[in-house]
A and B are shown apart, each in its own frame.
Chain A
Amino acid sequence: MPTFEPTLLARVGKPDSASLETYLRDGGYEGFKKALAMPPVDVINLVKDSGLRGRGGAGFPTGLKWTFLPKDHAGPIYLAINADESEPATFNNRILMEEDPHQILEGIAISCFAIKSNKAYIYLRYEYGRSYRVLQKAVDECYAKGLFGKNIHGTGFDLDVVLHRGAAAYICGEETGLIESLEGKRAWPRIKPPFPAIEGLFRKPTIVNNIETMACVKQILDRGSAWFKSLGVPPDPNNPRDAGSYGPKLYCISGHVNKPGCVELPMGITTRELIDKHAGGVWKGRKAKAVVPGGISMGFLSAEELDLPLDFNGPGKAGCLGLGTAAITVIDDETSMVDVLFNCARFFAHESCGQCTPCREGTAWMHKILARIRMGEGQLRDLDLLVEVASSMGIIPGTTICGLSDGAAWPIKNAIKKFRGEFEEYIRTGRKTVKPSDALMEVH
């Protein structure tokens, strides 16, 4: 195996990495030029051939998604870039936007050309103020240089890119919630179908893609689809629904490790390698009790499951919802899983948009039960109640509009299954780990 070299992060940390000048010096926008000389359908096929799957959480094949757009549509067709990145513990998009914004913008330009869109909106979460300023400057640079605007490089291709700031709500990351929010409404996810590719932003065909997905598109144009496919893992022959996990991936590691950060590795690295080799091991000489493999919606890996590969298929084998955003949070053996699960439940109760009754009531109920357990007032039957509530909500039982409720239910079911002994012990001994800050937050 040749040694792996970072590509998505290759320019991160270099002096002035965010400026157009250094980007051009490093060969930037050559991929865009290459695309402009191709028929758009060839660009789509290149991305299809690479095996790229979206990096936003669901892992849907990018090229395939692009082909869902209606053929020969009179337009406009929109590209909506999902830069909402609100899944707890996820920060890889932020690193890309702050450190190498032109890589993203080039990916956007290429993608727009491929799908015959002349307008891209980047929906950026409000909290990323630095990303906003860096990206806005980069967009302005592109207009000044004729990389965006009318008749780019005399090819007749026009492109406008607009940065749009959100207002601190997790549900804006769900693709149809994002669309509603961008249209100036409350971010209430839409019932699908119609899928955005048919009827999306402003009721026009729309593709929603993640920031890291855009960086991959740029790299595929530069290095080819064979390069992309040479990294990662092929489909599992025993799983007909696995489309393989190709290319480089950004893994964010946080929580109880010595060296938290964002690293780029080929898909298929194991959690153990990631923690020990790339994150300096668990802090304070402790051991990992549990690991969140991809944002809190995905559930937990126990200490025995750390050798599973972190590809699209791996975490599922350990009963997790999936790879999600590949945001790894390490929880040490001195932390109570009750506290961890309470934190997750509180998040979803706060962020449910409230449209669907099972999600609105279910998230609130699970939060209350876990708060009660943490107050030392739990009963053993609360654990079954939690599982029962969690099992009645989500797209998977078909009771809700969007995936937030599955993301809320999954860690509950998963944690109680894997750590039931610890939960029972907590309840039986009347332990209480409630913090003074909880009382404060109730007043809010």
Chain B
Amino acid sequence: MGVLSEELRDQIRAQFPKYPNKRAVVLPALHLVQDAQRSVSIEAVREIAELLELHPSEVHDTMSFYQFFKDEKHKLGKHRVWVCRSISCMLRGGEELLQHMCEKLHVHPGQTSADGKITMEFAECLGACEGAPCILVDDEAHMNITPEKADALLKSL
């Protein structure tokens, strides 16, 4: 018995029929593991590789390319909050919003609040520019965010 539960393994195996080879399941598997465990540990990388019949370095190579996936030293909080810093949000106060939210949680982008609840990050364009400045809470966009709205949102998490 490793770090991946049998349930998680089954969820990964359920992806196999969608693709002509198992390597294509690397991203779906990393998503499933990170969602469940808030990071992808080296042990998890080994076990994913075993399931996909790859060398662990192949899984790690892919994983490390996407800053999206975190190793065990950078475990995510319960929620991940992204503030968009791209052009349309920047023009309407996105960077000030990031500043405000980081101060509120006493963190730098990439860090997790002391209570382990929220990991703050900056995002390149979130594609919700009509509602700039916008933020992403886990994978749901929230638009036209003021500092007050941000405070209320953080409180509700």
Interface, chain A (partner B; CB < 8 A): 76, 85-91, 93-94, 125-130, 132, 160, 162, 164-170, 181-187, 202, 252-256, 260-262, 292, 296, 327, 329, 331-332, 335, 339-340, 343-344, 347, 350-351, 353, 435-438, 440-441, 443-444
Residues from chain B with Cβ under 8 Å of A331 in the complex: 91
- Name the one of A93, A170, A292, A440 contacting B98, with C-beta atoms under 8 angstroms: A440
Q: Whole-angstrom distance between the alpha carbons of A436 and B98 in the complex?
A: 10
Q: Which of B5-13, B135-143, B146-154 contacts A (4 or more CB under 8 A)?
A: B135-143
Q: Nearest Cβ distance between residue B91 and chain A, in whole angstroms?
A: 5
- Complex contact A90–B127 (CB within 8 A): yes
Residues from chain B with Cβ under 8 Å of A344 in the complex: 87
- Complex contact B141–A165 (CB within 8 A): no
Q: Nearest Cβ distance between residue A10 and chain B, in whole angstroms?
A: 19
Q: Nearest Cβ distance between residue B53 and chain A, in whole angstroms?
A: 12
- The closest CB in chain B to the CB of A283 belongs to B92
With A91-B128, A262-B130, A443-B108 known as contacts, the answer to whether A329 contacts B87 (CB < 8 A) is: yes
With A165-B31, A166-B27 known as contacts, the answer to whether A127 contacts B139 (CB < 8 A) is: yes
- Name the one of B67, B68, B122, B130 contacting A254, with C-beta atoms under 8 angstroms: B130
Residues from chain B with Cβ under 8 Å of A168 in the complex: 66-68, 123-124
Q: Whole-angstrom distance between the alpha carbons of A252 and B129 in the complex?
A: 8
- Name the one of A170, A184, A261 contacting B130, with C-beta atoms under 8 angstroms: A261
Q: Whole-angstrom distance between the alpha carbons of A261 and B61 in the complex?
A: 39
- The closest CB in chain B to the CB of A335 belongs to B91
- Complex contact B86–A167 (CB within 8 A): no
**Cross-chain pairs A/B with CB under 8 angstroms, 30 sampled:** A85-B127, A86-B124, A86-B127, A88-B86, A88-B87, A94-B127, A94-B128, A128-B127, A129-B138, A130-B140, A130-B141, A164-B28, A165-B27, A165-B28, A168-B66, A168-B67, A168-B124, A184-B26, A185-B26, A292-B87, A329-B88, A340-B87, A340-B91, A347-B86, A350-B124, A353-B65, A440-B102, A440-B108, A441-B109, A441-B122
